[in-house]
Chains A and B, each alone.
Chain A
Amino acid sequence: MNPFSSGTRLRDMIKAIRACKTAAEERAVVRKECAAIRSSISENDQDYSHRNIAKLMFIHMLGYPTHFGQMECLKLIASAGFPEKRIGYLGLMLLLDERQEVLMLVTNSLKQDLGHTNQYIVGLALCALGNICSAEMARDLAPEVERLLLTRDPNIKKKAALCSIRIIRKVPDLAENFLSPATSLLKEKHHGVLIAGVQLCTDLCKVSEDASNHLRKNCTEGLVRILKDICNSPYAPEYDIAGITDPFLHIRVLRLLRMLGHGDADTSEYINDILAQVASKTESNKNAGNAILYECVETIMGIEATSGLRVLAINILGRFLSNRDNNIRYVALNMLMKAISVDSQAVQRHRTTILECVKDSDASIRKRALELVFLLVNDTNAKPLTKELVDYLEVSDQDFKGDLTSKICSIIEKFSQEKKWYIDQMVKVLSLAGNYVKDNVWHALIVAISNAPDLQGYSVRSLYKAFQLSSEQVSLVQVTIWCIGEYGEMLVNNVGVLQVEEPMTVTESDAVDVLESCLTHHSTDITTQSMCLIALLKLSSRFPPSSGRVKEIITTHIGSVVLELQQRAIEFNSIIQRHQNIKSSLVERMPVLDESTFISKRAGSSQANISTEKSNQQLPSGASLKLSNGVAKPAASPLVDLLDLSLDDTPVPTSTSNDFLHDLLDVGLTNSSSSASGTDILMDLLSIGTPVQSNTTPENGSSIKGFNDILPIAKPNTATVQVVDLLDGLASNGSHPGAQSPVHPSIIAYQSSTLKITFSFTKQPDKPQVTQIHATFMNLSSEAYTDFIFQAAVPKFIQLHLDPANSNHLPASGNGRITQTFTITNTQHGQKPLAMRIRIAYKVSNQERLEQGQINNFPPGL
């Protein structure tokens, strides 16, 4: 054995690692050492295994992987000498944790060591077992530990007691076995054993009801005596800390007494005296004394104490609260939260001090104080408390603002008795910390405003004022935009001015200014911009003279790169331009948002499916709260009903969030992905182009008196087409000559700038459900198409059978056509009309193209 091959000593290795200046250097040193250790392990080098493991532990603490040393630990544990066992157990506890299977291999060694003659080795084994044993090991070795609880050596006894605690935590079933040994431990004199024993009894009480009863009956007297002894004992140098004998034992006994006295009047009465003695006698100028007082107060709060004792406890807490030491104040705030359930009046008296703590410079204290304040709020003090909190919100730290805001909002919501106060406070909070306010909070505000018609003018004016000052708060901006859009005329005409308001004149152009500035501001997000657009549309109807300016603003966004904004801009532009007659009814005042539905929806917001289906069913009744504001609302309800595609095709709920106000407020831009919403069908229709049906044109002009006329529909399909024609923004092809053929005229199913598809129908008289459709495809572009494939999808109640097409090459500019036949069977013939989604794929100069569309203009009766 070469004495020089062992590598460096532990001390030298540590020095070398500390001398490294860069991480790479350190890695190199560690790698070299690990290699040396590995080779030493594989050579089975007995002399240096001790040192190897020590080195490995250091390397492990630095964060490097050391699993190759685990078996070495096991070998060390199994060897006979004390030093090896000592370092082996330490390595075991450091390098392994209870989840590793290697641990099971140690069980045998542990068992032997637990029965060793050398008490220190037994101690090592108990320590290791108590720190990292798993449930199986606990079960295996529990009998050994039980036996050791009864030895004479106090060192072993206390270790065995703590080890039993771990066993009980891992395997609660074994608790009964430890009950009687634990009780006998309480009769010991040795403080270490007493501490461990009391702790074991506490854990037994937590785990088992029987243990609790047993201990209550038999041990209360003994415990009180222990406490009395140490409380009254003279100076004992071994256990003295800051003039108090063994504060740790004090605290543990107090805790056990709390568990035993909880809910039991007799025990509580029995321990009243000793608690009073401890509470009054303990000095509180040092931390040890305060720790004991703290535990004492906790115990008094936790048992059925007399009122005198309670008063004593609250006094101690009051003293703590005004102590200058931050730790003590923190602890006091913690205790007061529990004291509220016991004596809330007393706690209310300290309200001002607690409010001061909310503004403290220490983050932990602030947090505790805020929670405590929240518990203290009741109807009488809600207003002043809210005022204080909102004032503080202005100056608070950024990381605290989030918590503070949500607490303030919940207080305001819970305790607001008048709507006006609610709106005032919410406007203030939004102006100060709008960015931290959650969406459902400001949605609730909007619901409240819509339900308070006499306050709407006031609300919109306050919001306008607030906006001038704090336009960087996103939620405030969103609420303001919505209100200006809805109640613009109230703002301008000073409707419903309350007494407390200062006079203010806002002109129409001011209101439009607000919206324009929001729209064009660089940091506004897409949601807010979309809301601006719809609000502008509303204003163009409410303020006719400003309509021109609004139109200009909207037109600037026709070229926006954001799809949602572009879509809205184009649609609204076309409404303003061409459909003035329906514009006002489109953007009429919204119906009052139903508060109770809103609250119940919020409460059941986890049930996404249910809420959306409920709202889907609401649609036909016209109270369609689920849909977008304005444009889509009246139109979509009959559409969804009659198309029924949404309800059949996709049972999955529509909106991205369960908060239906999202849709209401035109938020929720992922509508295009959720194909089932009514809005979406409309969008689909609009994106196709002009599937114009021939037989409806003559009826166009006369029947549009207002959208409400569309609601009672005789012929579903005609109404559909009317709507489409009305809202067509894209290539309007004009109407086809009305060839009112009797039953099944051909239709242009799909037309885009590059492709036209015509369907013609034949039916056999004896099979009314079956229709044969001949599709003709025509290429409108100047390049030929190859690999032309047509696909179709139909709702569940329709069956489709596609025959192969006659070719898949389509010459350009309509020089040739492809025809394809397919058969449709409508199982709900007469009840539901046909509808179909189509998909055409083709190649143009070796590039693949895809066109999709929906065909809804099938003639009725198919």
Chain B
Amino acid sequence: MIHFVILISRQGKVRLTKWYSPYQQKERATAIRELSSLILTRGPKLCNFVEWKGYKAVYRRYASLYFCMCVDQDDNELEILEIIHHFVEILDRYFGSVCELDLIFNFHKAYYILDEILIAGELQESSKKIVARLIAAQDTMVETAKAEAGSVSNMIAQTM
């Protein structure tokens, strides 16, 4: 299973973290720190797998962001690389040519997308189209709900 997912910038800033195994706050901070130092110092031609504390960390760099997933020893590393790519392509389709700033200002949306791809550390959906459709449907629901609420509170504000 995937134990956690972290996205870090080239300077080591954390853009997104998702934990599927119980890690305490301090342990999380340590893990992030250690993995960051391991990954950010690796050269470009080296393989995308790092061994860390009995687990394997599979990472890939997309522009200025490193996507890293930590998996068990017996997992298929090449498949995890595919999962990472799957996630990135869906993000790309959603935001339209995604860049790091998109992920910073819309981090909650990135989380929603991740939740449609992985649950409990396992892959949920292999079709990009279906994921996009689900996210779009939920976004529409939020929009309609906001619109309704907006009109109601306007009415209340006017009466006050």
A residues lining the B interface (CB < 8 Å): 1, 3, 11, 14, 18, 47, 54, 57-58, 61, 63, 81-83, 86-87, 90, 93-94, 97-99, 120, 123, 126-127, 130-131, 155, 158-159, 162-163, 165-166, 169, 191-192, 195-196, 199, 238-239, 241, 246-249, 251-252, 255, 287-288, 290-291, 294-295, 298, 326-327, 329-331, 361-365, 367
Contact = CB atoms under 8 A, between A and B. Distances in A.
A158 B145 contact: no
A533 to B, nearest CB: 44
A722 B140 CA distance: 101
A63 B46 contact: no
Contacts of B15: 61
A131 B119 contact: yes
A288 B82 contact: yes
Interface string B56-84: 00000000000000000000111101110
17 contacts: A57-B108, A61-B14, A82-B142, A90-B112, A131-B20, A166-B119, A169-B120, A192-B124, A196-B122, A241-B86, A248-B79, A248-B123, A295-B79, A327-B47, A361-B45, A362-B46, A364-B46
Interface string B112-152: 10010001101111111110001001100110011001000
A327 B77 contact: yes
A18 to B, nearest CB: 8
Contacts of A238: 127-130
B23 interface: yes
A715 to B, nearest CB: 63
A120 B138 contact: yes
A165 B138 contact: no
A363 B49 CA distance: 10
A329 B153 contact: no
A291 B79 contact: yes
Given A127-B119, A165-B120, A246-B126, A365 B145 contact: no
A367 B51 contact: yes
B11 interface: no
Contacts of A288: 82
B50 interface: yes
Given A61-B14, A364-B50, A248 B126 contact: yes
Contact of A195 (B19, B85, B123, B141): B123
A421 to B, nearest CB: 33
A1 B156 CA distance: 10
A425 B111 CA distance: 57
Chain A interface main SS type: helix
B133 to A, nearest CB: 10
A327 B46 CA distance: 8
Contact of A294 (B78, B126, B149): B78
Given A239-B127, A287-B82, A199 B108 contact: no
Interface of B: 14-20, 22-24, 29, 45-51, 76-79, 81-83, 85-86, 104-105, 107-108, 111-112, 115, 119-120, 122-130, 134, 137-138, 141-142, 145-146, 149, 153, 157, 160
Contacts of A363: 46
A11 B48 CA distance: 34
Contacts of A295: 76, 79
Given A248-B123, A330-B49, A367-B51, A87 B108 contact: yes
Contacts of B85: 287
A363 to B, nearest CB: 8
B92 to A, nearest CB: 14
Contacts of B127: 191-192, 238-239
**Top 4 A-B pairs, shortest CB-CB distance:** A291-B78, A326-B47, A162-B119, A166-B120
Contacts of B17: 61
A364 B82 contact: no
A364 B111 contact: no
B126 A239 contact: yes
Contacts of B77: 327, 330-331
B51 to A, nearest CB: 6
Contact of B126 (A249, A290, A326): A249
Nearest to B13: A62
Contacts of B24: 97, 99
Contacts of A290: 78
Interface centre among B111, B127, B157 (most CB of A within 10 A): B127
B34 to A, nearest CB: 15
A294 B82 contact: no
A239 B82 CA distance: 13
B35 to A, nearest CB: 14
A196 B78 contact: no
Given A192-B130, A294-B78, A330 B108 contact: no
A83 B82 contact: no
Nearest to A200: B122
Contacts of B107: 57-58, 61
Contact of A127 (B22, B76, B115, B125): B115
Given A63-B29, A82-B141, A362-B46, A294 B157 contact: no
A247 B19 CA distance: 25
A331 B50 CA distance: 12
A287 B78 contact: yes
Given A131-B20, A330-B47, A162 B126 contact: no
Contact of A364 (B51, B108, B129, B138): B51
A326 B46 contact: yes
A464 B136 CA distance: 78
Given A14-B105, A90-B111, A97-B22, A162 B79 contact: no
Contacts of B111: 90, 94
Contact of A82 (B14, B104, B145, B160): B145
Contacts of B108: 54, 57, 87, 90
B48 A327 contact: yes
Interface centre among A163, A199, A327 (most CB of B within 10 A): A327
Contact of A247 (B82, B130, B157): B82
A336 to B, nearest CB: 15
Contacts of B105: 11, 14
Given A163-B120, A291-B78, 8 more contacts: A57-B108, A97-B22, A131-B120, A165-B122, A239-B126, A252-B123, A362-B46, A364-B46
A251 B76 contact: yes
Given A86-B142, A127-B119, A364 B47 contact: yes
Given A83-B146, A251-B76, A364-B49, A199 B122 contact: yes
